[in-house]
Structure formats: C-alpha cells, structure tokens
Amino acid sequence: MAKKPRVKVQKSAKKGDVIQIKTLVPHKMETGRRKNKKTGKKIPRMIINKVEVSFNSKPVITADLHPAISANPYFSFYARVEESGTFKFTWTDDKGTKMTTTKSITVN
C-alpha cells in the first residue's frame, strides 16, 4: 500500500449531528485466483483484509474484507458526533502492512 488514502469528514458539526464519512484507499486487491500470463503461475493473494475506524480512541466501525472486494475499496458510513475530536482510519493488508490517516472535526 504505497498511495495515500482519501478520506472526507466535514470540518465542523453541531452536537448530536449524524455525519457522513467517505473513504477510498488505492490498492490492487489481488484475489490470488488470477494467473500470470507469461509464467502461468498464480499471482499471490494481496488484499486489504481489515478496515478500522475509531473516534477519540473509541471504535466506530470495523470491517473484515474478503477477496470479492473490488480494487481501490470505497467505504461510506455515518457516525453521530457528540464532541470535538479525531477520527483515526486504519487499513491492514495480508502482509500485515497498516496504512493510517486521521481527520479532525469540531463540534459546536
């Protein structure tokens, strides 16, 4: 996972608002079922297998992914915000490599 993920979280909200959060992470998501055209050998599986989002260190969403997920997975979900803080996004692939990013929101 070399490229930086894209995350959209609004910068501010009112206490109790439900906000939409959108994420897209660049990743080939190789299923392990395709073969190399030149060698005929299977291309090893390499997918993002877990997505975790927390807000102020409290879990918001966790998703276990499987090979049927498309390349460059996109996630959209909603969260209720009661206080200002930081969302932390973590994507983990089959090698255990983790990609993280954060986004802050101010609650009035």
Question: pLDDT, tens digit, for every residue of 54-80?
Answer: 999 999 999 999 988 899 999 999 999
pLDDT at residue 7 is higher than 70: yes
Q: pTM score, two decimals?
A: 0.90
Domain count, the chain: 1
Question: How sure is the predictor about 1, in pLDDT bands with cuts at 50, 70 and 90?
Answer: low
Q: What are the backbone dihedrals phi and psi of residue 62, each rounded to the nearest 5 degrees, phi first? A: -135, 135
Instruction: Report the distance separating Cα 43 and Cα 57, nearest Å.
Output: 37
| Containing structural domain, residue 44 | 6-101
Residue 14 inside a domain? The answer is: yes
User: CATH number, domain at 70?
Assistant: 2.60.40.10
What is the average per-residue pLDDT within 43-51? 95
Is residue 108 one of the residues assigned to a domain?
Answer: no
What is the chain's percent helix, strand, coil content, to nearest 5? 0, 55, 45
Mean per-residue pLDDT for 34-42?
A: 94
Confirm whether 32 is domain-assigned.
yes
